[in-house]
Amino acid sequence: MQKMKENWPDVITLDIEMPRMDGITFLKMIMAERPTPVVICSTLTEKGAETTLQALSAGAVSIVTKPKSSLRDFLKDASAELIGEVKAAAASHPKTFQHKKSTQVTSASDLSDQIKPSSSLSQTTQRVVAIGASTGGTQALEEILCALPRLSPGVVIVQHMPERITTAFAKRLNGLCEIEVREAESGDRVVAGTALIAPGGKHLVLKRSGAQYHVDVIDGPLVNRHKPSVDVLFRSVAKYAGSNALGIILTGMGDDGSAGLLEMREAGAHTVGQDEESSIVYGMPKEAFKRGAVQKQLPLSQMAAEIQRQNWL
């Protein structure tokens, strides 16, 4: 930190496991002193998933997975990815972010207030909200989902994240939000008051059976260098939900989601892109806007209200 104060860096690559001070503590110091783009380069394991998620929540803009062994081969094979992440981070605009704390249950009445309606008892929603995000998306999704009331339309989400991290991410959001948030499984119904997040390493698609919407979690090749891919989700929403859908594309680098969002708009869906000022990385929303896929741009603070509007069109 003393060296940084002499010549503050443009981008920082940061491990989580370090001597003397762990990476998350150091990350929090950086963000408190002077918000700076940070790329986490760490070994990801089941045990470390929650720790890595804490780093993203504390302000890291992206993650590069570092293997436990064969580091030399990793640096050779993943050099283009690492360079790309650093360059994208350099173009990002990290911001301080106030996180909600998990609600503490202190009495029986508090417990009853926290009980969420069972999916089997929830009414089927005829409206579907599809959200795609990448770099900076964990913070953006937390802000949006935490602002939604219990009876909000059903939400399906693709957030570019490594395998195993999405489970911890969904559990964390579920503890913060009034709506139910969970990692999607094939056959899950899309119902009011529920948000389903695509598992890392799998694509998420929307299907329809009669008047009911549900999701399938499928394997397959990378699409736009990603799995899950926002385009895969958005295209399925365009096909099966059409004008009953709202598509939202959030902060992230690259162009994943822009083609699918255009298909949604052409199918009659309402489409929204995050504006440049509130985006950590104005890449995906910018590409979607350039293609004509975005009907209107909104700051992050207005996304939850847009989802709750009775009539999107």
Is 200:52 a contact under the CB 8 Å cutoff?
no
- The count of other CB atoms within 10 Å of the CB of residue 7 is 6
Q: Is the peptide bond before 228 cis (omega within 30 degrees of 0)?
A: yes
Residues 117, 125: Cα–Cα separation, whole Å: 14
Burial class (CB in 10 A: 0-12, 13-18, 19+), 3: exposed
Active-site residue, 160 included: yes
Catalytic residue among 160, 203, 226, 270: 160
Residue tagged active-site, from 42, 134, 229, 236:
134
With vertex at residue 234, the alpha carbon angle to CA 233 and CA 235, rounded to the nearest 5 degrees, is 95
* 134 catalytically annotated: yes
* Cross-strand partners of 164: none
Residues noted as catalytic = 134, 160, 256
